[in-house]
Amino acid sequence: MVRALVLTGFGINCEEELAAAYRLAGAEAHIYHFNEVLLQQVSIHDYDILNFPGGFSFGDDIASGKVMANKIKYKQLPNGKTLLDEIKIFLQSGKYVLGVCNGFQMLVRLGLLPNIGATFTQQAALSHNDSAKYEDRWVYCKVTANSHTPFLNGISIFAVPVRHGEGKLIFADDEMRKNIIAKNLNCLTYCLEDGTTATTYPENPNGAELSCAGLTDETGHVFGLMPHPEAFLSLYNHPNWGQLKRQNPNLPDEGAGLQIFKNIVAHLNTCKLPNAEMV
């Protein structure tokens, strides 16, 4: 069975929803405090997917996700390595990493996204929303054509909630932006209901460059996004579910966000199949 490790602690507060998403998708999900990993009481290598949930790690002091990213980068584990060193090994073994909202901010500051050239250096940043306020509402997102992360297989446009104050993605320079576009790493963009890219507020809730709501790395194994798919696991999470159901009585009871988790679980089950047959 696919195994997902969901980290919590230090102000993270979306761990239960993220674990529920994996369980509904058919995976085994365990929630552990960051300290249990940093003290090596729990090994990330026992899992297939490492998850950084949303929340307010360290109260968003300095910048969202910055303090937690520094702990991952610099705190020495009992084996003398850092957690970032272990994550690199985790990815080299073909496993996957997901970051949502505050978790996405951590991945960007760690250099895990977009990680062009596999340098693991910070190539982008997340700044305060252009609205200068915390945005807590629903938006539409569309998947970029030829996106190569299995998390987004078969998805085109979906509604999803955003809950953030620092979601404006800014790339290091023009060359970085060109690379992002050329490599289809801008895998998820804010859009209108009809799929038109949202270049202005409020459809683009934060003013992100390239209207970017999510990034993947060049391997497709690291995926991060500002919106919260784990908050749309059931149709009844949607604030307008009653009207949607009246308009289309055959509308599935599943929320659109669940498909992201079903995708990665199905992909990993397929990857594991040859080993299962050998046994």
132-136 mean pLDDT: 97
Domains and CATH numbers, the chain: 3-278 (3.40.50.880)
Concatenated DSSP letters of 94-138: T-EEEEETHHHHHHHHHT-SS-GGG--S--EEEE--TTSS-EEEE
Q: Would you place residue 230 in the very low, low, confident or very high pLDDT band (cuts 50, 70, 90)?
A: very high
Residues 6+ apart with CB under 8 A from 38: 71, 75, 77, 83
Residues annotated as catalytic (active site), given as ranges? 101, 228, 230
Q: Would you place residue 61 in the very low, low, confident or very high pLDDT band (cuts 50, 70, 90)?
A: confident
Task: Report the amino acid identity of residue 272.
Answer: K
Q: Would you place residue 247 in the very low, low, confident or very high pLDDT band (cuts 50, 70, 90)?
A: very high
Q: Residue 273: its pLDDT value, please?
A: 53
Distance (Å, rounded) from C-alpha 123 to C-alpha 265? 29
Question: Is 90 exceeded by the pLDDT of residue 2?
Answer: yes
Residue 12, strand partner residues:
9, 55
Buried residues in 201-235 as b, exposed as e (16+ CB within 10 A): eebbbbbbebbbbbbbbbebbbbbbbbbbbbbbeb
User: How much of the chain exceeds pLDDT 70, in percent?
Assistant: 97
Q: Residue 93: its pLDDT value, please?
A: 97
User: How much of the chain exceeds pLDDT 90, in percent?
Assistant: 94
Q: Residue 275: its pLDDT value, please?
A: 43
Single out the residue of 164, 187, 191 nearest to residue 14, CA to CA: 164
Q: Residue 192: its pLDDT value, please?
A: 98
Query: What SS3 state is found at 140?
Result: strand
Question: Is 70 exceeded by the pLDDT of residue 278?
Answer: no
